[in-house]
Amino acid sequence: MALLPFRKLRMVLMLALLGFGLAGCGINAIPTHEEKAKAAWSQVLNQYQRRAELIPNLIETVKGFAAQEKDVLTSVVEARAKATQTKIPADILSNPGAFKAFQQNQGALSGALSRLMVVVERYPELKSNQNFLALQSQLEGTENRISVARRDYIEAVRLYNTELKTFPGRLWAQFLYTGNKPMENFTIEAEKMAVPKVKF
């Protein structure tokens, strides 16, 4: 009779030790890395939204000085509209097609803004306008923030995807986190990877 409580106590102690052992061997690593990656993604979206909000003011300022550059201004407006009107599905981080479309739209907007800045070089009076200088500075700061946010997201996704593929995370993913899929990551467009040709 006296042995029964001892066995129960021993079983409770073994379960407690097993629980501590499981907690220490990475059972929470997958959800932890997933939440970090989602938070980093939110920051990427936040910075892209900040850029999108700066563009109308930038366009209006440039329009006053460089009305004849209508095609460049129109391309920026259209690229912004396409980037901001793209529906972002809930599964974008694990949906390669949706992620690629998002990245292409943001890349097109970046390209249009770059062309706009090249056009601005032709207008010295615009380059010295205080409103334009302030907007240009904010846009440059935002582009830097986008780069940092993307870098942080890439690192968070690397950790998450690695956890899903390596031991013991692979076991936890197979048994406890079966719905967790690898997340998509940013890539460099092929034209940006091409080596520039230098001719003398």
How many CB atoms sit inside 10 A of residue 40's CB? 19
Beta-carbon-side half-sphere exposure of residue 167 (alpha carbons within 13 Å): 0
pLDDT band at 19 (very low <50, low <70, confident <90, very high): low
Q: Return phi, psi of residue 125, to 5°.
A: -65, -30
The sign of the torsion formed by the CA atoms of 148, 150, 151, 152 equals: positive
- Alpha carbon distance 175, 158 (integer Å): 21
Model confidence pLDDT, tens digit, residues 85-107: 989 999 999 999 999 999 999 99
Structure tokens at 169: 């995370």
Model confidence pLDDT, tens digit, residues 136-146: 999 999 999 99
Identity of the amino acid at 25? C
pLDDT band at 27 (very low <50, low <70, confident <90, very high): confident
The pTM assigned to this predicted structure is 0.81
